[in-house]
Structure 1
Amino acid sequence: MDENLSRGYVQLSKQRASVSSIGGQSSESGQSPSGLNVPHDTCSCIYLGLILAGAGFLLPYNSFIIAVDYYQDRFPDTTIVFDMSLTYICVAFVSVCINNVLVELLSLHTRITVGYVISFLTLLSVALFDVWFELLTRDSAYRVTLVAVGTVALGCTVQQSSFYGYTSMLPMRYTQAVMTGESAAGLLVSANRIVTKALLNDEKVNTMIFFCISVVTVFACFVIFNLIRRTEFARFYENICRTAGKPDDKVGFSNQTVMQEEVEIVDHTTNQGNYGVLVIEHDDQPRHAVSSSSSRHSIADDVRIKSEPWTVRRPTTIWAAIKHGVVLRKRASRTTWPYMMSIAFAYFVTLCLFPGIESEILSCRLGSWMPVVLMAIFNASDFIGKIIASLPYDWPPRRLLACSILRVLLIPLMMMCATPRLGPILNGEGWAMLISLILGVTNGYFGSVPMILASTKVPDEQKELTGNMMTLTYSIGLTTGSVMAYGLDDWLGPRLPHDPCLVNNATLVDLLNGTISSSSFG
Structure 2
Amino acid sequence: MSTMNLDDETPHKLEGRGIAIVVCWILGLGCLVAWNSMLTIGDYYYVLFPDYHPARVLTLVYQPFALGTMALLAYKESKIDTRKRNIAGYILFFLCTLGLIVVDIASSGKGGIVNYICICVFVAGFGVADAHAQGGMVGDLAFMKPEFIQSFFAGLAASGALTSGLRLITKAAFDKSSNGLRKGTMLFLAIATFFEFLCIFLYAFVFAKLPIVKYYRAKAAREGSKTVASDLAAAGIETDANQRAEIEAKAPDRLSNKQLLIKKLDYALDLFFIYVLTLSIFPGFLYENTGTHSLGSWYPLVLIAMYNVWDFIARYIPLIECIKLESRKWLMIVILSRCLFVPAFYFTAKYGDQGWMILLISWLGLTNGYLTVCVMTVAPKGCSGPEANALGNIMVVFLLGGIFLGVALDWLWIIGNGSF
TM-score range, shorter chain: 0.7 to 0.9
1:343 matched to 2:271? The reply is yes
Deviation at 1:367, TM superposition (A): 1.8
Tell me: CA distance 1:38–1:348, structure 2 relative to 1, closer, same or farther (3 Å). farther
SS of structure 2 residue aligned to 1:417: helix
Report the equivalent of 1:129: 103
Instruction: Tell me, in whole angstroms, the C-alpha distance in 2 between the residues paired with 1:402 and 1:367.
Output: 38
* 1:106 positional shift: 2.9
Q: Structure 1, residues 472-509: CA drift from partner, whole Å, max 9, x if none?
A: 11111111111111112225x124xxxxxxxxxxxxxx
Equivalent residues in 2 for 1:40-55, closer than 5 Å:
40-42=14-16, 44-55=18-29
Moved more, 217-226 or 145-154: 217-226
Tell me the residue number matched to 1:156.
130
From the superposition, tell whether residues 245 and 104 of structure 1 become closer, same or farther in structure 2 (CA, over 3 Å).
closer
- Aligned-pair distance for 1:138? 1.0
Cα distance in 1 for residues equivalent to 2:209 and 2:247: 32
User: Cα distance, 1:225 vs. partner?
Assistant: 2.7
What residue number does 1:376 align with?
Answer: 305
Moved more, 192-201 or 149-158: 192-201
The Cα shift of 1:131 comes to: 5.0
2:235 aligns with none
Which deviations, in whole Å up to 9, do the C-alpha atoms of 1:81-123 show, x marking residues without a partner?
1111111122111011121244244310111111111111111
What residue in structure 1 maps to residue 396 of structure 2?
471
> Which whole-Å CA distance do the structure 1 matches of 2:202 and 2:46 have between them?
34
Paired residue secondary structure (2:143) = coil
Match of 2:201 among 200, 220, 223: 223
What is the CA–CA distance in structure 2 between the aligned matches of 1:68 and 1:193, rounded to whole Å?
10
* In structure 1, C-alpha distance between the alignment counterparts of 2:19 and 2:243, rounded to whole Å: 40
Q: Is the 8 A contact 1:335 1:458 kept in 2?
A: no
What are the residue-to-residue correspondences of 1:100-249 with 2, within 5 Å? 100-131=74-105, 133-134=107-108, 138-201=112-175, 202-226=180-204, 227-245=206-224
Preserved contact between residue 69 and residue 369 of structure 1 (Cα < 8 Å): no
User: Could you tell me whether the CA contact under 8 Å between 1:90 and 1:479 is conserved in 2?
Assistant: yes
CA distance in 1: counterparts of 2:268 and 2:92, whole angstroms: 28
Residue of structure 1 in register with 2:373 after alignment: 448
In 2, Cα distance between equivalents of 1:65 and 1:252:
49
Taking structure 1 as reference, are residues 62 and 173 closer, same or farther at Cα in structure 2, changes over 3 Å only?
Answer: same
Q: Tell me the equivalent position of 2:336.
A: 405
CA deviation profile, 1:42-62 (whole Å, cap 9, x unmatched): 572211221111110111111
Please say if residues 332 and 458 of structure 1, whose CA atoms lie closer than 8 Å, have aligned partners that are also in contact.
no
Instruction: Give yes or no for contact 1:66–1:193 (8 Å, CA) kept in 2.
Output: yes
Q: Distance in 1 between matches of 2:406 and 2:393?
A: 20
Kindly state the Cα deviation for residue 257 of structure 1 after the two structures are TM-superposed.
10
CA distance in 2, matches of 1:140, 1:390: 47
Find the aligned partners of 1:481 and 1:394 in 2 and give their Cα distance.
24
Give 1:256 shift: 12
- Tell whether the 8 Å contact from 2:224 to 2:247 is kept in structure 1 after alignment: no
2:359 corresponds to 1:425? no
- Whether 1:365 and 2:294 are equivalent positions in the alignment is yes
User: Counterparts of 2:169 and 2:247 in 1: how far apart (Å)?
Assistant: 62
Corresponding residue pairs, total: 395
Higher helix fraction: Structure 1 or Structure 2? Answer: 2
Per-residue Cα deviation, 1:246-278 (whole angstroms, up to 9, x for no partner): 7998999989997x8xxxxxxxxxxxxxxx98x
Range with greater deviation from structure 2 (117-126 or 127-136): 127-136
Question: In structure 2, how many angstroms separate the alpha carbons of the residues matched to 1:132 and 1:196?
Answer: 22
CA distance in 2, matches of 1:210, 1:381: 21
User: Secondary structure of the residue that 2:315 maps to in structure 1?
Assistant: helix
Counting strand residues as a fraction of each chain, which structure ranks higher?
Answer: 1
Judged with a 3 Å threshold, the aligned counterparts in structure 2 of structure 1 residues 164 and 80 are, in CA distance, closer, same or farther, namely: same
Among 318, 340, 347, the alignment partner of 1:389 is 318
AA aligned to 1:353 is I
Counterpart amino acid of residue 114 in structure 1: A
Quick check: 1:131–1:204 contact (8 Å CA) kept in 2?
Answer: no
Report if the CA contact (8 A) 2:91-2:196 is conserved: no
- Note the C-alpha offset of 1:208: 1.2
Q: CA–CA distance in 2 between the matches of 1:257 and 1:137?
A: 57
Counterpart in 1 of 2:418? 494
CA distance in 2, matches of 1:151, 1:253: 36
Instruction: Give the structure 1 partner of residue 71 of structure 2.
Output: 97
Contact 1:164/1:468 (<8 A) preserved: yes
Deviations 1:122-141 (A, max 9, x none): 11111122256438651112
SS in 2 for 1:245: coil
Deviates more, 1:220-229 or 1:173-182: 220-229
Larger radius of gyration: 1
Segments of 5+ residues of structure 2 without an aligned counterpart are 1-5, 227-238
Question: 2:273–2:335: 8 Å Cα contact kept in structure 1?
Answer: yes
Q: Which runs of 4+ in 1 moved over 6 A?
A: 246-258
CA distance in 1, matches of 2:287, 2:183: 22
d(CA) in 1 for partners of 2:248, 2:385: 23
Answer whether contact 1:131 1:207 (CA < 8 A) is retained: no
Identical positions, percent:
23
**Are residues 134 and 37 of structure 1, via their aligned partners in 2, closer, same or farther at CA, if it must alter by over 3 Å?**
same
Decide whether aligned partners of structure 1 residues 208 and 250 sit closer, same or farther in structure 2, where only a CA change above 3 A counts: closer
Q: What TM-score comes out, normalization by structure 1 length?
A: 0.70
> 1:244: Cα distance to partner?
1.4
Contact 1:82-1:486 within 8 A present in 2 as well: yes
Equivalent in the alignment of 1:83: 57
Shift of 1:145: 1.7
Helix, strand or coil at the partner of 2:67: helix
Change in Cα spacing, 1:242 to 1:198, as seen in structure 2 (3 Å) is: same
Tell whether the 8 Å contact from 2:48 to 2:111 is kept in structure 1 after alignment: no
Give, as a single letter, the amino acid of the residue that structure 2 aligns with 1:387: Y
Per-residue deviation, 1:169 = 2.2
- In structure 2, the CA distance between the partners of 1:209 and 1:405, relative to structure 1 (3 Å rule), is same
Aligned equivalents of 2:265, 2:244: Cα separation in 1: 36
Structure 1: which 5+ residue stretches go unaligned? 1-9, 11-31, 261-275, 278-309, 311-324, 419-423, 496-517
Backbone CA RMSD of aligned residues: 2.9
Structure 2 CA distance for partners of 1:437 and 1:132, relative to 1, 3 Å? farther
